[in-house]
Amino acid sequence: MRFRPHARREEPEINLIPLIDVLLVILIFLMVTTTYSKYTELQIQLPTADTERAQERPREIVMGISAGGDYSIDRKRIDNPSVATLASALGAARQAASGEPVLIISADAQAAHQMVVTAMQAAREAGLDRLTFAAQTQTAR
């Protein structure tokens, strides 16, 4: 028994508006939660390998920082570890060096962070633009 003999069957349609709404919400969520890193904050020049000739090593000034708060520059102990004293000692070591020396900060692992920051501030005041930190590799036990 058919009550509707000529009933047409409707074709199903895909409604795209809810899909677009969901995609926009996901896009906004991703934009808000993404952290953008700035890789151009530090202007550095990476060294290149040159196997044909041996490169000259620049003059090095080694600053040691012990865990107890003692400073030394080129194995000479600094009695008053203030920024001004360290800057004048680094300036004297820079005058003795030929060219543009590299400051190597060799700090004890237990040294306070402030002592390293003080050393960096003294290097800036002494006009030393090139500095690096000494580290040792971990040995397998």
* pTM of the predicted model as reported, rounded to 2 decimal places: 0.56
60-133: what fold? Nucleotidyltransferase; domain 5 (3.30.420)
Q: What average pLDDT does this structure show over 88-93? A: 90
Non-local (6+) Cβ contacts of 84 within 8 A are: 125
Mean pLDDT of the chain: 80
Local confidence band at 123 (pLDDT 50, 70, 90 cut-offs):
very high
At residue 57, the pLDDT reads 63
Share of the chain above pLDDT 90, in %: 23
Q: What average pLDDT does this structure show over 100-120? A: 88
Domain boundary assignment for the chain: 60-133
Gap between the Cα atoms of 66 and 71, Å rounded? 7
One-character DSSP codes across 23-71: HHHHHHHHHHHPPPP-TTSS---------SSPPPPPPEEEEEE-TTS-E
Local confidence band at 96 (pLDDT 50, 70, 90 cut-offs):
confident
pLDDT at 43 over 60: no
Cβ–Cβ under 8 Å, residues 94 and 51: no
Amino acid (one-letter) located at 102? V
